Amino acid sequence: MQIKELGHIVLYVRDLDRSAHFYRDILGWRPAYSGDEPLRYRGMAFNAGGRTHHELLLLEVGRSAAPLQRGRHVGLYHFGLKVGDNDDELREVLATLVANGVPIRGATDHGFTHSLYIFDPDGNEIELFVDVPSVDWDDPAHWTDPTARPLRL
């Protein structure tokens, strides 16, 4: 077996309308389904690049759902979304987040990526990043001796 690519991410959310607003109106995901027929479940599918049928699916589980665990635990840590190709584009993302009141939880220069860290309305951590131009991705030092400096935009 060989995995060809990451297909999609599915997130349980407390409030579909609130989460759809965040992913669609702030992060810029495009709805993957725009038909008039109601879905049999309370959910919404999105695409960013349109390379497949959907890349993100939000499924509403209600306000009484248990919160995500914080700290060291087994499971998803975060997912990364490439938002551009240079720091100017990352600065535009930062300005959009600030304008929409989205708290920035971290900003890191990893040497090969520059990253902003945020949480969605349900506490899922998201890395918004750009690749650093001219990085030698075959250099094993990126993995064996990783860089993690504060990012200055």
Residue 111's domain is classified under what CATH number?
Answer: 3.10.180.10
* Residues 108 and 143 both lie in one domain: yes
* 143 within some domain: yes
DSSP SS3 for 81: strand
| Domain region containing 126 | 78-150
The pTM (predicted TM-score) of the whole model is: 0.92
* Residues 82 and 52 both lie in one domain: no
* Residues 145 and 82 both lie in one domain: yes
* Residues 87 and 56 both lie in one domain: no
Q: CA nearest 114: which of 82, 79, 77?
A: 82
* Residues 87 and 118 both lie in one domain: yes
* 52 within some domain: yes
Q: Beta partners for 116?
A: 107, 128
- Gap between the Cα atoms of 12 and 19, Å rounded: 10
* 36 within some domain: yes
- Gap between the Cα atoms of 12 and 122, Å rounded: 9
Q: From first to last of its 153 residues, what are the pLDDT tens digits of the chain?
A: 998 888 999 999 999 999 999 999 999 999 997 666 667 788 999 999 878 889 999 999 999 999 888 888 899 999 999 999 999 999 999 999 999 999 999 999 999 999 999 999 999 999 999 999 888 888 888 788 888 999 999
Q: CA nearest 112: which of 94, 76, 78, 139?
A: 139
* Residues 93 and 145 both lie in one domain: yes
* Residues 42 and 82 both lie in one domain: no
What is the number of structural domains in the chain?
A: 2
